[in-house]
Amino acid sequence: MKALILAGGAGTRLRPLTNAIPKPLVPLLGRPLVMHIIDSLPKEVDTVVLAVSYMKGALESYFRQNDCGRKVVLINEEEPLGTGGAIRNARQYLDEMFLCFNGDVISSLDLTAFLDHHRRHGGIGTLALWRVADPSAFGVAKMLNGRITEFQEKPSPGTAVSDLINAGTYAFEPELLDHIGDGFVSLEREVFPKILERGLHGYQFTGHWVDCGTLESYLNAQSVLIDDGEDVVCVQRQEGARLIGANHLDGVTLSHCRVGPHVCAMRGSSIMDGSTVERSVLMEGAQVGKGCVIKDCILGPGAQVKDGQTLNGEILVRGSSA
């Protein structure tokens, strides 16, 4: 079976981090987002098809250097074709039922149970659905007896027809390709409303689900995974540091600082005397000087925070000043 991962978006909401790293390669607890998806695939998936466009060279070189245990094929779009156009562009690989993913979603969905559900209920496709309090920023699905009867993309507040949202994971039959036209096509806005009558089913799941497309949701995903037990503490050098709550620290230098809760600090990063870091990520080689207060931040690879700085809710990359 093939799994198609949509991985060609520009990731504008995570800029400036995504100026240098395509979103599928942004590390979450030290592993690229796309690898969280690939590692969760059931055994029957032997080929991963990545629909790429933005910074495709970085993705090519990642998969050349890292064996993920499955065949990986990259399909390029010269110009981004949208989520629907990307699927159509990969059609030469999609001749039987396939799984399809937004490349930035982290979830506890049991893909084997999801596929069973699709096989039992038939139809052109099945969407994984997740319940939220405010669905206005998402694609909303109204369901009747397990079948989706209406689909709204990002309804204005108060107009949503349900609180179930599209979790960005699908099982599709190849027949879907007959309903996607040429050029730029949005799966959610243009294709879903057209295929409802072909039998589009919903599969609601619980556990965790986070779309990592923004600073806030990325940090939320990190907290969820750390709370779920994915904590590694392997500090390289630690003098008088205080660790609070579950954290993910791998090969870091900590000196007389307060770290946590919900901090991930990757290899080669450091936090110096008198600094406090909470609910943030320090990617490889990021450095926090002395007497800093860092909260709700992404510090990209090699980012540097000078002594005495306070940062709240910022994305900082190498070369940007703070």
Asked whether the beta carbons of 285 and 304 are under 8 A apart, the reply is no
* Cα–Cα dist 168/134, whole Å: 17
| The pair of three-digit structure tokens given for residue 310, joined into one six-digit string | 């306070």
Q: Could you report how far apart the first and last alpha carbons of the chain are, in Å?
A: 47
The span from the CA of 181 to the CA of 158, in Å, is 32
Q: What DSSP designation does 187 have?
A: I
Query: Per rule CB under 6 A, is residue 282 in the interface with ligand GTP?
Result: no
Q: Choose between 79 and 307: whose C-beta lies nearer to ligand GTP.
A: 79
The site string for ligand GTP over 104-143 (x = CB under 6 A, - otherwise) reads x---------------------------------------
State the number of binding residues for ligand GTP (CB under 6 A): 21
Which of 103, 139, 202, 300 is close enough to bind ligand GTP by CB under 6 A? 103
Q: What angle do CA 84, 50, 196 make, to 5 degrees?
A: 30
Question: Which is closer to ligand GTP, CB of 9 or CB of 32?
Answer: 9
- Beta carbons within 10 angstroms of residue 92's beta carbon: 9
Figure out which of the listed residues 20, 70, 74, 80 binds ligand GTP, where binding follows CB under 6 A.
80
C-beta of 37 vs 303, nearer to ligand GTP = 37
| DSSP 8-state symbol, 220 | H
The answer to whether 12 contacts ligand GTP (rule: CB under 6 A) is yes
CB of 89 to ligand GTP, least distance (A): 8
Residues 94 and 87 sit within 8 Å (Cβ to Cβ): yes
Distance CA 286, CA 275 (A): 14
Q: Which is nearer to ligand GTP, 86 or 286 (CB)?
A: 86
Query: Of 98-106, 131-139, 241-249, 288-296, which segment contacts ligand GTP by CB under 6 A?
Result: 98-106
Residue number with the shortest CB distance to ligand GTP? 9
Residue 271 C-beta: closest distance to ligand GTP, Å: 29
Q: Name the residues annotated as catalytic.
A: 154
Binding of ligand GTP by 8 (CB under 6 A): yes
Nearest CA-CA partner of 74 in 129, 163, 6, 144: 6
Pairing relationship of beta strands 293-295 and 310-312 according to DSSP bridges: parallel
Contact between 73 and ligand GTP by CB under 6 A: the answer reads no
Task: Give yes or no for residue 10 binding ligand GTP (CB under 6 A).
Answer: yes
Query: Per CB under 6 A, which of residues 34..53 are in contact with ligand GTP?
Result: 51, 53
For 216, 225, 285, the CA distances from 231, given in Å and listed in that order, are 20, 8, 19
* DSSP code for 25: G
Residue 301 sits in the site that holds ligand GTP (CB under 6 A):
no
In angstroms, the CA 10 to CA 17 distance is 11
Cβ burial 68-78 (10 Å sphere, 16+ → b, else e): eeeebebbebe
Closest CA relative to residue 174, chosen from 139, 198, 147, 150: 198
Q: Which is nearer to ligand GTP, 25 or 164 (CB)?
A: 25
* Distance, CA of 278 to CA of 247 (rounded, Å): 10
State the nearest-atom distance from the C-beta of 214 to ligand GTP, in Å: 7
Query: Which of 27, 30, 82, 139 lies at the binding interface for ligand GTP (CB under 6 A)?
Result: 82
**260 binds ligand GTP, rule: CB under 6 A:** no
Q: Which of 3, 4, 7, 254 binds ligand GTP (CB under 6 A)?
A: 7
The nearest distance, CB 255 to ligand GTP, in angstroms, is 36
Is there binding between residue 32 and ligand GTP (CB under 6 A)?
Answer: no
Q: Which residues bind ligand GTP (CB under 6 A)?
A: 6-13, 23, 51, 53, 77, 80-83, 86, 102-104, 213
